[in-house]
């Protein structure tokens, strides 16, 4: 007998909804000003931000190389936010998450570089004020398409804190870096407890 867990059904429904929205459209390239190009579109159920809301996040590069985030959720107008940095031409990826304090984070990667940005609370109306938290330079073994943002529990002293973390593959190995309040540093995992710690 094959057992299918409730979480598997929910995940399958979420994937189906994402695909339906993707094929229904988002920010088509033809709707952008001349010279802007959609680089990456992501439909994300961001944790802690009204779980039922599906945020459409689109990464756009202007001809100048300036990076923009176009975001919207059901029933709201699209909002365009300059991310505060430039990437030259070439493939670029974006990954997003949010924390219990309702801050959304994005990791934007291309060959040799990951920039991690605090996007603020996407569910609050008005302009975003993104802040670059860190810029990580990586070597030839880095796979930019593998970059993912997440929130992990890190042991600091005798307590755990929820912090943003970035996961990526370098030289065939998965690397995890977590934010210590100043920069992203390597962490290790206490497998029995599922808790991370700074190395």
Per-residue pLDDT, averaged over 67-79, amounts to 85
Per-residue pLDDT, averaged over 53-81, amounts to 85
pLDDT higher than threshold 70 for residue 29? no
Query: Could you tell me the pLDDT band of residue 31, with boundaries at 50, 70 and 90?
Result: very low
Per-residue pLDDT, averaged over 113-138, amounts to 93
Per-residue pLDDT, averaged over 84-97, amounts to 89
pLDDT higher than threshold 60 for residue 127? yes
User: Residue 34 to residues 28, 37, 68: CA-CA distances in angstroms?
Assistant: 12, 9, 14
Report yes or no: 122 and 46 within 8 Å, Cβ to Cβ.
yes
Q: Please give the pLDDT value at position 74.
A: 75
Q: Please give the pLDDT value at position 98.
A: 85
Entry pTM: 0.77
pLDDT higher than threshold 70 for residue 8? no
Two tokens, residue 28:
């088509």
pLDDT digits over 181-190, tens only?
999 999 999 9
pLDDT digits over 152-182, tens only?
999 988 899 999 999 999 999 999 999 999 9
Phi/psi for 4 (5° steps) reads: -115, 120
Determine the Cα–Cα distance for residues 31 and 94; give it in Å rounded to an integer. Answer: 20
User: Residue 133 to residues 31, 79, 91, 166, 180: CA-CA distances in angstroms?
Assistant: 31, 21, 22, 12, 10
Long-range contacts of 103-107 (CB under 8 A, 24+ apart): 104/46, 104/49, 105/133, 105/149, 105/164, 106/57, 106/69, 106/130, 106/149, 107/147, 107/148, 107/149, 107/166
pLDDT digits over 94-122, tens only?
898 888 777 889 999 999 999 999 999 88
Report yes or no: 117 and 105 within 8 Å, Cβ to Cβ.
yes
Determine the Cα–Cα distance for residues 88 and 86; give it in Å rounded to an integer. Answer: 7
Q: Please give the pLDDT value at position 103.
A: 84
Q: How many angstroms separate the most distant Cα atoms in the chain?
A: 58
Q: Which residues pair with 129 in a beta bridge?
A: none
Which of 9-18, 54-63, 64-73, 78-87 is predicted most confidently? 78-87
Q: Please give the pLDDT value at position 12.
A: 38
């Amino acid at each position: 007998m094959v057992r299918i867990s409730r979480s598997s059904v929910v995940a399958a429904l979420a994937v189906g909804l994402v695909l339906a929205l993707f094929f229904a459209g988002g920010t088509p390239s033809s709707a952008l000003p001349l010279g802007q190009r959609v680089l990456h579109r992501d439909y994300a159920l961001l944790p802690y931000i009204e779980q039922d809301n599906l945020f459409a996040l689109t990464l756009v590069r202007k001809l100048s190389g300036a990076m923009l985030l176009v975001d919207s959720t059901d029933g709201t107008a699209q909002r365009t936010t300059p991310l505060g940095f430039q990437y030259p031409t070439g493939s670029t990826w974006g990954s997003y998450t949010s924390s219990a304090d309702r801050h959304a984070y994005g990791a934007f990667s291309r060959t040799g570089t990951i920039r991690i940005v605090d996007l603020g609370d996407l569910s609050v109306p008005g302009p975003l004020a993104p802040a670059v938290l860190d810029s990580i330079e990586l070597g030839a073994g880095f796979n930019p398409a593998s970059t993912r943002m997440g929130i992990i529990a890190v042991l600091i002293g005798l307590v755990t804190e929820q912090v943003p973390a970035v996961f990526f593959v370098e030289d065939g190995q998965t690397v995890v870096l977590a934010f210590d309040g100043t920069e992203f540093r390597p962490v290790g995992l206490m497998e029995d407890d599922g808790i991370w710690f700074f190395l």
